[in-house]
Structure 1
Amino acid sequence: MTEDALTETGPGPIDPRTPTAAPGAGTLLRLLRDGRPRTRSELASVTGLARSTVTQRVDALLASGLIGPAGEAVSTGGRPPTTFSFRPEARVVLAADLGATHARLALTDMSGTVLAEDRADLDIALGPVPVLDWVVEHGLALLATVGRDTDELLGVGIGLPGPVEHSTGRAVNPPIMPGWDDFDVAGHVNASIRRPVLVDNDVNIMALGEHHVAWPTAGHLMFVKVATGIGCGIISEGSVYRGAQGAAGDMGHIHVPNGGRQPCRCGNTGCLEAVASGHALAEALTNAGVPATGARDVVELSRGGSVPALRALRQAGRDIGEVLAAAVNMFNPSVIVIGGALALAGDHLLAGAREIIYQRSLPLATENLSIVSSKAGESAGVIGAAVMVIDHCLSVRHAQTLVMGA
C-alpha cells in the first residue's frame, strides 16, 4: 500500500474538469459526505456524468447502504424527484489511542461520533502482541456492546506513542516501546479483524481529532501533546504533514536555552523533553522535595495549589514556547493547540507558551494566530484515529472497493 493511498483527504469541493471527477461510486460518495441531500439530476450536474451513469452509481451506493433516500425535492412539474444522502451509521470504526501507560478504545460511526468507549492502564512496554491482542479483544467486545459485528466494521485506526512509518503500519525505532521496532502492527491486527488497519503516531491522530472536532476549516494547525514526552502533529492544507520519513513534528528533541546539559532519553542533552515533559517535571519536583512520579502527579499537585508545581508548569510552557516561536515563523499556522496530560493542569502551561510565542515570533505570523487548549480533550486521539480510517476508506480511490465488497 502506497503513501498516497493512505493520505487521501476527506470531502471537499469537486471540479468536474479534474481527474477526481472520473466515473465511479467514490465521486458521488465524496459529494454526499457533506450531509446535503441531492437528487440524481443534481449529482449529474455537479460531476458532469451522464444521468444513466449517475443512476447506476447511486443504485450501487444504495445497495451498499452507504447512502439512503432523504425525502423528495421540490417538484418543478410532475413527480417530485427523490434526494439521497450519506448514512454515517451504515458502518462503524474501531479506534485505538495507545499511550506509554494507557490505552483508550472507541467505536465511532462514519461521522466520527463516538458510540462506545473503553480504557485501561496498559504499559506499552509489555510488547506488541499482548497490547494489540488487548485492542482486538476489547474492540470486539465494544462491537457487541452496540449490537454490531465485524461485517459492519469499516476499518481499524491505531495511534502509537512513537515514530511510525505510516505507509506500512510499522513502528520505527520507538524509544519507549521495546519489542515494537519494525513490528507489523497492521498485519497483526488484520489477522484477527479482516478489515483495513491504519497506524500512525499518536500525536498525528490527536491533531486529526482536534481538527475534526474544533477547527475543521483551519488549513494549518499544530497540535502539541505534552505528557510523558512531547510531540507535535501538523495539519497542512487540511491533511496531516508527516515529512519525508514520517518524523515531522518531533519537537521534543529540539535543543532549548533552558536545557543546559540535562540528559535526554534520545541520547542528546538539553532537549525540550528533558526539561518540560511530565517525566522531567516530576523528577525536578521530587529533587526539590515535592514527591511526584509522573505527569498525573504534577497535574494533581498544581490543582492542589502547589506553588513549586505551578512554577514548574509555567516554565515548561515558556520552554515549549521557545520551540513553537521558531515553528510559527517557519510554518505560520493559524491555530496552535496545547493538549496532553499536562495541559489538564490549567492555564499555566498555556500562559507560559503564549508569553514566549508572542514575544519571539514575527508580528505578521501571530496577527491571526490562536493559541488554545484542546477542546477534544482525552477523546482527540480516538476521534482522530477514526477520522484517519474514514477518510481513507471513503476516499475516491477506495470507495469503489468498499461498494463492490458490500
Structure 2
Amino acid sequence: MSAQLLTKGFGASDLFQLLRDGAPQTRAQLASATGLSRSTIALRLDELIELELVAPIRDAVSTGGRPSALMALNPAARVVLAAEFGASHATVTLVDLSAVVIAEHTEDVEVALGPERVLGWFIDVANRLLDEVGRPPSDVVAIGIGLPGPVEHETGRPKNPPIMPGWDDFDVPHFIRAVFDVRVLVDNDVNLLALGERATMASGTENMILIKVSTGIGAGIVSDGRLIRGAQGIAGDLGHVQVSGRQEIICTCGNRGCLEAVAGGPAIAANLRKAGLPTYSVRDVVKAARSGNVLATQALRQAGRDIGEVLTTCVSLINPSAILIGGSLARAGDHLIAGVREVVYARSMPLATSRLTIAPSRPDESAGVIGAAVMAIESALSRTGIEAMARRNAP
C-alpha cells in the first residue's frame, strides 16, 4: 500500500486533496476531475480506505444500472492535538480531522515556568485527554502549538520572547516528538487567532487582518486565504512600526516612537498613573474604562487612533475586507475600536474602505486554539502529511 502511495505521478495523497473538504464524490466524478481511469481511481481509493481517511457514506442517486457509492473524508479516522499558551493560562484541545472538538482542558499555567515544565504539562494533559475518549496515541497525526511571543515557524523555536524566560531558541517540536512522533507545528498566538477567526467566521473571508492589543500589539494577516508569515515569521509585527510625532518615546526594543510603546497596555497604564489613576496593569486600564472613567476612555480612544494610523498603510498594502480587533484592551468597550475606525475610514482611499469591516474579534479565547488545530490539520492532510501517515501505517 505505501509503495503505491509514494509512487511518482498522481498518487493517493493527490486524490485525497479532492476529498478533504468533506464533499462526497463518486468514483466517476473523481475520474472525470483527474483524467484517470476508474480502475486507477479504485486503486487510489483502496489505499485511502486502508488508512481509514475516506469511507463510503451512502449511495448516489442511480441513473440506471448499479448505483455509485459516494466517497468522503472520514473525520473520525485520526485526531489532532492543539494547545494555546498565554502568559498565565493554557488550553489543550483534542479535535477530529474536521476540527470538531472531542475533548478540552483549560488551566492556569505560567509560561514563565520554562519550556520543560510547561510542555511537560501539555504532554500529561494530552495523554489524559486521549485516555478519556479512548483514543491511542498512535491516532494522533499532528500537533499545533500557539505561544505568546515571536516564533520562527519553520523550526518551531521561539525567538527572544519578552515574557517567556528560558524559551529563547528552545526546540519545542523536538521536545514533544520524544513522546508523540508526529509533526509538531508552532506559531505565535496572533497568527493562530487569525486562523481561528477565519475558520469560524459565518461567511468566511479570504483577506483579513486580526490585531491583538494587550501588553504588546501584533497582527495576523490572511491574504487570498493564506496566512502571511514572511521570510523569518515576523510578518504582522505592528508593535514596532513608528508612529509619527512620537519620537520622544523610547521603546523596549531600543527604537523610538514604536506603536507598542505608544498604544500598548503598559504605556497606557503608565500615562494614566501620571494623571493620578491607580493603573498598574492592563487589567486596571480595562477596569477603569469599564467603570466610565473619562481619562481611561480618552486614552483608549487615542490608542485606537494611533493604531489606526499604522493600519491605514496596511489597508493600502493588503486591501483587507475585515479588520478584527482583539486582546485585553479591546474588551474595555468600543473606545479603542472607535479610534481605529475614525482614522482608517478618514485616511484610507474610499475604494479600499467601501466594503471594509472593522469589528471586535471573538469575545472568548477559543479562536487561538482552533487556529492551532487548523494549522495542524492542514499539515496532516497535505500531500506530504498523507504520505507520512502511510509510512507510519506500513507493516
TM-score by shorter chain over 0.5: yes
Structure 2 counterpart of 1:233, which letter? G
Match of 2:352 in 1: 365
Q: How big is the shift at 1:22?
A: 4.3
Does residue 179 in structure 1 map to residue 149 in structure 2? no
Is contact 2:20-2:381 (8 Å) kept? Answer: no
Question: Equivalent of 1:278, from 255, 265, 282?
Answer: 265
Match of 2:233 in 1: 246
CA distance, structure 2, for counterparts of residue 351 and residue 391 of structure 1: 35
Q: Residue 17 of structure 2: SS of its match in structure 1?
A: helix
Match of 1:403 in 2: 390
Match of 1:75 in 2: 62
Map 1:118-129 to 2 at 5 A: 118-129=105-116
Unaligned 5+ residue runs, structure 1?
1-20
How many residue pairs get matched?
A: 386
Is contact 1:67-1:86 (8 Å) kept? Answer: yes
Match of 2:4 in 1: none
RMSD of aligned residue pairs (Cα, Å): 2.0
Match of 1:385 in 2: 372
Q: How big is the shift at 1:278?
A: 2.1
Does residue 60 in structure 1 map to residue 60 in structure 2? no
- Regions of 4+ moved over 6 Å: none
Is contact 2:223-2:318 (8 Å) kept? Answer: no
CA distance, structure 2, for counterparts of residue 54 and residue 80 of structure 1: 17
Is contact 1:32-1:86 (8 Å) kept? Answer: yes
Question: Equivalent of 1:151, from 123, 129, 138?
Answer: 138
Q: How big is the shift at 1:217?
A: 4.5
Q: How big is the shift at 1:124?
A: 2.3
Q: How big is the shift at 1:34?
A: 2.0
Cα deviation digits, residues 255-301 of structure 1 (max 9, x gap): 11364422322122321111222222233333333223333333233
Is contact 1:210-1:376 (8 Å) kept? Answer: no
Q: 1:116 to 1:279 in 2, by over 3 A?
A: farther
Cα deviation digits, residues 89-118 of structure 1 (max 9, x gap): 222211111223332222222222223322
CA distance, structure 2, for counterparts of residue 346 and residue 335 of structure 1: 19
Does residue 102 in structure 1 map to residue 89 in structure 2? yes
Is contact 1:328-1:361 (8 Å) kept? Answer: yes
Q: How big is the shift at 1:376?
A: 7.0
Unaligned 5+ residue runs, structure 2?
1-7
Q: How big is the shift at 1:307?
A: 2.6
More moved, 297-306 vs 146-155: 297-306
What TM-score do the two structures reach when normalised by structure 2? 0.92
Q: Residue 322 of structure 1: SS of its match in structure 2?
A: helix
Q: Residue 118 of structure 1: SS of its match in structure 2?
A: strand
Match of 1:191 in 2: 178
Structure 2 counterpart of 1:144, which letter? D
Structure 2 counterpart of 1:365, which letter? A
Is contact 2:57-2:70 (8 Å) kept? Answer: yes
CA distance, structure 2, for counterparts of residue 403 and residue 73 of structure 1: 29
Does residue 266 in structure 1 map to residue 253 in structure 2? yes
Q: 1:216 to 1:155 in 2, by over 3 A?
A: farther
CA distance, structure 2, for counterparts of residue 26 and residue 382 of structure 1: 27
Q: Residue 357 of structure 1: SS of its match in structure 2?
A: helix
CA distance, structure 2, for counterparts of residue 344 and residue 139 of structure 1: 30
Is contact 2:25-2:71 (8 Å) kept? Answer: yes
Cα deviation digits, residues 21-45 of structure 1 (max 9, x gap): 9422222222112222111111111
More moved, 243-252 vs 109-118: 109-118
Q: 1:141 to 1:308 in 2, by over 3 A?
A: farther
Q: Residue 76 of structure 2: SS of its match in structure 1?
A: helix
CA distance, structure 2, for counterparts of residue 294 and residue 149 of structure 1: 43
Q: How big is the shift at 1:170?
A: 0.9
Does residue 230 in structure 1 map to residue 214 in structure 2? no
Structure 2 counterpart of 1:346, which letter? G
Question: Equivalent of 1:41, from 22, 28, 51?
Answer: 28
Q: Residue 234 of structure 1: SS of its match in structure 2?
A: strand
Cα deviation digits, residues 229-252 of structure 1 (max 9, x gap): 110111122111111221211000
CA distance, structure 2, for counterparts of residue 300 and residue 145 of structure 1: 39
Structure 2 counterpart of 1:297, which letter? D
Question: Equivalent of 1:350, from 337, 340, 343?
Answer: 337
Match of 2:295 in 1: 308
Does residue 28 in structure 1 map to residue 26 in structure 2? no
Q: How big is the shift at 1:47?
A: 1.4
Structure 2 counterpart of 1:317, which letter? G
Q: 1:263 to 1:105 in 2, by over 3 A?
A: farther
CA distance, structure 2, for counterparts of residue 216 and residue 86 of structure 1: 22
Q: 1:281 to 1:120 in 2, by over 3 A?
A: farther
